[in-house]
């Protein structure tokens, strides 16, 4: 894999930074939800943290031949108060990725004929759409002081596709077989 265009490279580095921070933030918020008696929302945060790690890894590996230091500027969400507010932070971050960041990054990669970056941005965009909805559903419960259900949460190790329960035999985004999925 190699990158031929500066702008796609910058977008990959920024997306790597954003996904890395989302990964860490969701682990923190997941631990917090567990401590506050909502272990299944905690599990959702941990599963989605894994998906963000998959995205960070994909972006990083598209850049694997770009050896050296770089300043990285990326969006971050801060705060750790109640679980519902943390979920709102998560929803805001995901919607920023879905409505602003990844569509622009994806079009840039297409325009610059950066096939590997295009795939990496496409995978992330599709997963973030699902994450936004999963966090919205969880927030509805949290607002009533309730936890989500105990169904297993699955994450595709190739693209970060995330689902609650057993709904598919293979990843609808990248085609990876269900038995390869991580479960939480």
The site string for Fe ion over 137-156 (x = CB under 5 A, - otherwise) reads: -------------------x
- The one among 25, 46, 131, 141 contacting Fe ion by CB under 5 A: 131
First to last CA, the chain: 31
For position 106 contacting Fe ion by CB under 5 A, the verdict is no
For position 128 contacting Fe ion by CB under 5 A, the verdict is yes
Q: Can you count the helices (H) and strands (E) in the chain?
A: 5, 3
- Residue in 8, 78, 22, 9 with CA at minimum distance from that of residue 53: 22
6-35 helix and 83-96 helix, angle to the nearest 10 degrees: 160
Please, what is the minimum distance in Å from the beta carbon of residue 128 to Fe ion? 4
Cβ proximity of 136 and 148 under 8 Å = no
Residue 144 pairs in a beta bridge with none
For position 46 contacting Fe ion by CB under 5 A, the verdict is no
| Residues 17, 19, 22, 24, CA torsion sign | negative
User: Which range, of 37-45, 75-83, 135-143, 173-181, touches Fe ion by CB under 5 A?
Assistant: 173-181
User: Which range, of 31-39, 70-78, 86-94, 100-108, touches Fe ion by CB under 5 A?
Assistant: 86-94
Q: Find tokens 């995901």 and name the residue.
A: 94
Please, what is the minimum distance in Å from the beta carbon of residue 90 to Fe ion? 8
In this structure, the chain runs to a length of 184
- The one among 161, 163, 181, 184 contacting Fe ion by CB under 5 A: 161
User: Which range, of 77-85, 104-112, 143-151, 168-176, touches Fe ion by CB under 5 A?
Assistant: 168-176
Please, what is the minimum distance in Å from the beta carbon of residue 171 to Fe ion? 3
- The one among 135, 171, 181, 184 contacting Fe ion by CB under 5 A: 171
For position 132 contacting Fe ion by CB under 5 A, the verdict is no
- Residue in 161, 180, 171, 174 with CA at minimum distance from that of residue 50: 161
Provide the CB-side half-sphere exposure for 35 (13 A, CA). Answer: 10
| Contacts to Fe ion by CB under 5 A | 94, 128, 131, 156, 158-159, 161, 171, 173-174, 176
């Amino acid at each position: 894999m190699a990158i031929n265009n500066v702008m796609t490279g910058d977008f990959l580095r920024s997306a790597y930074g954003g996904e890395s921070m989302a990964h860490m933030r969701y682990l923190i918020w997941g631990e917090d939800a567990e401590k506050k008696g909502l272990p299944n929302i905690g599990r959702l945060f941990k599963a989605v943290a894994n998906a963000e790690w998959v995205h960070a890894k994909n972006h990083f590996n598209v850049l694997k031949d770009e050896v050296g230091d770089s300043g990285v500027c990326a969006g971050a969400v801060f705060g750790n108060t109640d679980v519902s507010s943390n979920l709102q932070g998560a929803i805001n971050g995901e919607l920023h990725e879905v409505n602003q960041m990844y569509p622009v990054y994806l079009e840039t990669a297409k325009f610059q004929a950066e096939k590997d970056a295009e795939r990496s941005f496409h995978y992330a965009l599709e997963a973030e759409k699902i994450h936004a909805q999963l966090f919205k559903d969880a927030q509805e419960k949290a607002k009533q002081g309730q936890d989500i259900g105990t169904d297993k949460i699955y994450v595709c190790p190739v693209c970060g596709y995330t689902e609650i329960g057993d709904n598919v035999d293979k990843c609808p985004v990248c085609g990876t077989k269900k038995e390869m999925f991580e479960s939480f």
